[in-house]
Amino acid sequence: MTDPARPLVLILCTGNSCRSHMAEGILRHAVDGRVEVASAGSRPAGYVHPKAVAVMAEIGIDLSEHHSKHMDQFLDKPVHTVITVCGNADQACPMFPGQVRRYHWGFDDPAQATGTEEEILAEFRRVRDEIVKVFTAYAAGICLHS
C-alpha cells in the first residue's frame, strides 16, 4: 500500500531482474524512508538475478527478498516519479496516475556479460557502482527538497 505522505518512485527496466532492483535497493537505502521506492518491468523475468543479489550484498544492501514484478501492478497507484534504467523500458513506459516526473538513466545490462565467472561478476560490480553514483546523487536532491 502506498503511503500518501511519501511519494512513490518507480524504477523500471524490461526484465526487472538486475538493474532496476539494484537501483531500488540503492535508492531505498539512500533516502532512508523519505520516499517509497519500488521497481518493476515491462516483461518481468520472474526472478532477481543471483549475481545482482550477491554484488549488492557486498555493499550491505539485501535484495534477497526482492521479486520480479510487472509494471502494470502500479497503474492504479499514485506514482510520483518514474525512472527507467534501460532503453526498452523507456520506450514501453506508460503514464502512471499522479506521475509528476520521469527520468531515463540507461545502464548496461550486466546479465548480458560474458567471460569467466570473475569477469561477469566484475561487470555486475561496474554497473552497480555506476548505479550507486547516479542514484546517490538523485537521493541527495530528494533529501534536500523534502
Q: Catalytic: 18?
A: no
Check 38, 56, 93, 139 and give the catalytic one: 93
- Cα dihedral 121→125→126→132 (10° resolution): 160
Q: Catalytic: 86?
A: yes
Check 8, 9, 10, 13 and give the catalytic one: 13
H helix runs in 4-116, sequence order: 19-31, 50-57, 87-92
Grid look-up 520506450 returns 91
Check 61, 86, 89, 131 and give the catalytic one: 86
Q: Catalytic: 143?
A: no
Does an H or E element contain 11, and which? strand 8-13
| 77-97: b (≥16 Cβ within 10 Å) or e | bebbbbbbbbebbbeebeebe
Residues classed as catalytic: 13, 86, 93
